[in-house]
Homo-oligomer: A and B are copies of this chain.
Amino acid sequence: MTLNDTHDPALTSWVDSANRADADFPIQNLPFAVFRRRGTQEAFRVGVAIGDQIVDVHALRTLRVITGTASDALEAAHGSTLNRFMSAGASAWTTLRAALVGMLRGDSSHRAAVEPTLVPQAIAEYALPATIGDYTDFYASVHHATAVGRLFRPDNPLLPNYKWVPIAYHGRSSSISVSGGSVRRPHGQLLAPGADKPQLGPSRRLDYEFEVGTFIGVGNTLGSPIAIESAEQHVFGLCLLNDWSARDIQAWEYQPLGPFLAKNFATTISPWIVTMEALAPFRTSWQRAAEDPQPLPYLDSPSLRSGGAIDMELEAFLETKRMRSDSRPPHRLSRSNFRHSYWTVGQMVAHHTINGCNLSAGDLLGSGTQSGPQPEEAGSLLELTSGGKLPVQLPAGETRTFLEDGDSVIFRAWCERAGQRRIGFGEARATISG
């Protein structure tokens, strides 16, 4: 089997649920997470999703069905975080992927050994997939930057540096949690309209931001930039990321050094990291509009132009307490696509390191809110409600400007293209508590 065969849409698995057309996790995907059986005291360990099941790397190791160089890669993936496997690099990732496909494909002789060790996703709970040393948040959607800029600086929405510099700031690692929990509404200094002094109180303008997260695999040495041509060799994979934001705290605190308490109370990520290799069939060309500045050479390359962007559909949903008690499905707030991003993942890595800054395995880069060009493609309530002025209409007469206690925000994403199997990201979900 050649490696490219791992994308063959005709491949099926002996795990039947992986073969459904709407499955997030067909055999062509094989994303990684850290999990255990919910409610147990089991050690958290690395798992790989296939259909509605999880391949338990710890169990797999004792089965000895993966041999040769792939067994070294499996060994690197064994543990309570993915950091070691991330740092093992592209050849380990590719080797293990090929071995897992061989083990899970319909005609594999390993079904009898492996099937009893699978863990249903329905009974799993997740931990963060990696120890995240540093978390950086970019601002890579020009549509978001323009829309938000208009609200904070009506006279000057898009600053002169935006189209030259992939703007970013450092975020808080300690408050990143995996999907499924709750987020406590933050208190902070709020300056009421017209007031001459701030007061401490709970945020009244609590919002989500729909971002794509990038996990760094192979780091770089302090002082040694990563060239754009090799930038993606340093990237392990992508996840979904909710950069919870308290707009009222942000408006008062953010000048001159950027957001701090408005953001660092919580960040939620999806449990599954979809590898760059699984995303290979969904790469798409990247170009800068003729009227925009072309990127400086350290942010430009032929491979960026031919396939630097990723065609990835993004959907945000809201589920209120009332929807839950009425058994209504979550309400879709917006839909967009990561291909609209003004800056690509490779450009983020090259820019982040151009000054010598060192990235490490497990570092997380947020893409910034991924709003599309149309107003209904906005990735935050701030944008969807024009700064809280025009409430979003929900089923059964409910409305929202910002989030209320009991609201759950759910992100989903997937890639699809004619002639390819759909590659899904699962979901990132959390519920606001008071």
Q: Contact residues of A with B, CB < 8 Å?
A: 133-134, 136, 139, 149, 152-153, 159, 161, 164-165, 167-175, 177, 184, 186-189, 191, 197-200, 222-223, 225, 246, 249, 252-261, 264-266, 293, 296-298, 351-352, 354-360, 363
Do A354 and B188 touch across chains, with their CB atoms under 8 A apart? yes
A159 and B256 alpha carbons, distance in the complex (Å): 8
Q: Which residue of B lies closest to A224 (CB)?
A: B184
Do A171 and B174 touch across chains, with their CB atoms under 8 A apart? no
Chain B residues with CB below 8 A from A139, complex form: 257
Q: Which residue of B lies closest to A198 (CB)?
A: B164
Chain B residues with CB below 8 A from A222, complex form: 174-175, 177, 184, 265-266
Do A357 and B296 touch across chains, with their CB atoms under 8 A apart? no
Chain B residues with CB below 8 A from A149, complex form: 256
Q: Which residue of B lies closest to A145 (CB)?
A: B256
Q: Which of B184, B260, B264 contacts A223 (CB 8 A)?
A: B184
Q: Which of B165, B171, B265 contacts A355 (CB 8 A)?
A: B265
With A174-B363, A254-B257, A261-B351 given, name 5 new contacts (CB 8 A): A134-B172, A164-B197, A167-B260, A169-B260, A172-B357
Do B258 and A257 touch across chains, with their CB atoms under 8 A apart? yes
A360 and B188 alpha carbons, distance in the complex (Å): 20
A256 and B146 alpha carbons, distance in the complex (Å): 12
Q: Which of B164, B172, B200 contacts A189 (CB 8 A)?
A: B164
Do B355 and A296 touch across chains, with their CB atoms under 8 A apart? no
Do A168 and B357 touch across chains, with their CB atoms under 8 A apart? no
Q: Which residue of B lies closest to A264 (CB)?
A: B357
Q: Which of B165, B171, B225, B264 contacts A187 (CB 8 A)?
A: B225
A254 and B177 alpha carbons, distance in the complex (Å): 28
* Known A-B contacts A168-B260, A170-B169; A296 and B354 likewise in contact (beta carbons under 8 Å): no
Q: Which residue of B lies closest to A293 (CB)?
A: B197
A252 and B354 alpha carbons, distance in the complex (Å): 15
Do A246 and B355 touch across chains, with their CB atoms under 8 A apart? yes
A sample of 8 cross-chain residue pairs with beta-carbon separation below 8 angstroms, ordered by A number, consists of A134-B173, A161-B198, A170-B260, A173-B173, A175-B356, A175-B358, A188-B354, A261-B355
- A254 CB, nearest partner CB in chain B, Å: 7
Q: Which residue of B lies closest to A222 (CB)?
A: B175
Give the 4 A-B residue pairs with the shortest CB-CB distance, closest first: A258-B258, A186-B355, A170-B170, A169-B257
- Max count, chain B CB within 10 A of own CB: residue among A153, A187, A360: A187
Q: Which of B165, B261, B293, B352 contacts A357 (CB 8 A)?
A: B261
A258 and B351 alpha carbons, distance in the complex (Å): 16
Q: Which residue of B lies closest to A363 (CB)?
A: B174
Chain B residues with CB below 8 A from A259, complex form: 257-258
Chain B residues with CB below 8 A from A133, complex form: 133, 173-174
Q: Which of B161, B174, B177, B297 contacts A255 (CB 8 A)?
A: B161
A352 and B265 alpha carbons, distance in the complex (Å): 10
Chain B residues with CB below 8 A from A257, complex form: 139, 167-169, 254, 258-259
Do A355 and B225 touch across chains, with their CB atoms under 8 A apart? no
A291 and B169 alpha carbons, distance in the complex (Å): 34
Q: Which residue of B lies closest to A433 (CB)?
A: B223
Q: Which of B161, B184, B186, B261 contacts A252 (CB 8 A)?
A: B161
Do B174 and A358 touch across chains, with their CB atoms under 8 A apart? yes
A351 and B200 alpha carbons, distance in the complex (Å): 11
Q: Which of B199, B200, B360 contacts A174 (CB 8 A)?
A: B360
A277 and B252 alpha carbons, distance in the complex (Å): 36
Chain B residues with CB below 8 A from A200, complex form: 296-298, 354
A149 and B257 alpha carbons, distance in the complex (Å): 11
Chain B residues with CB below 8 A from A198, complex form: 161, 164-165, 296
* Known A-B contacts A161-B252, A169-B257; A357 and B174 likewise in contact (beta carbons under 8 Å): yes
- A389 CB, nearest partner CB in chain B, Å: 21
Chain B residues with CB below 8 A from A255, complex form: 159, 161
Do B296 and A170 touch across chains, with their CB atoms under 8 A apart? no
A261 and B255 alpha carbons, distance in the complex (Å): 18
A225 and B293 alpha carbons, distance in the complex (Å): 45
A199 and B296 alpha carbons, distance in the complex (Å): 7
